[in-house]
Structure 1
Amino acid sequence: MKIELSGDTFYPVGALENFLPQIGRVVELGDLPIAVFRTSDGRIFAALNQNPHPKGGPLAEGIVSGHYLYDPLYDWKIDLTTGLVQAPDTGRVTMFPVKVEEGQVFIAAAVLQQA
Structure 2
Amino acid sequence: MAKEQLVRIGSVDDFPMLLGKEVRIGDYDIAVFRTSDGGWYALDNHTPHKKGGPLTEAIVSGHTIYCPLRDLHIRLVDGRVMGPDTGEVRTFRVIVDGDAVGIELPPEA
* SS of the residue 2:57 aligns to: coil
Correspondence for 2:56: 60
- Cα distance in 1 between the residues matched to 2:3 and 2:72: 30
- Indicate which of 31, 52, 61 corresponds to 2:27: 31
For normalisation by structure 2, the TM-score amounts to 0.93
Larger relative contact order, structure 1 or 2 (CA cutoff 8 Å, min sep 6)? 1
* Residue of 54, 64, 78 corresponding to 1:82: 78
Instruction: After TM superposition, give the deviation of residue 75 of structure 1 in Å.
Output: 1.3
Partner SS state of residue 17, structure 1: helix
Q: Tell me the alpha carbon deviations over residues 64-84 of structure 1, each in whole angstroms, 9 at most, x when there is no partner.
A: 010000001011100001110
How many residue pairs match? The answer is 108
Q: Deviations over 1:87-114 (max 9, x none)?
A: 000000110011100211110113347x
Local SS of the residue matching 2:10: strand
> Residue 14 of structure 2: which of 10, 14, 18 is its match?
18
Residue range with higher mean Cα deviation, 48-57 or 102-111: 102-111
Per-residue CA distance 1:31-82 (angstroms, 9 max, x = gap): 2111000001111100110110011111011000100000010111000011
Cα displacement (A) at 1:29: 1.2
Shift in Å, 1:7 = 2.8
Unaligned runs of 5+ in 1: 1-5
Q: Is the 8 A contact 1:69 1:77 kept in 2?
A: yes
TM-score by length of 1: 0.88
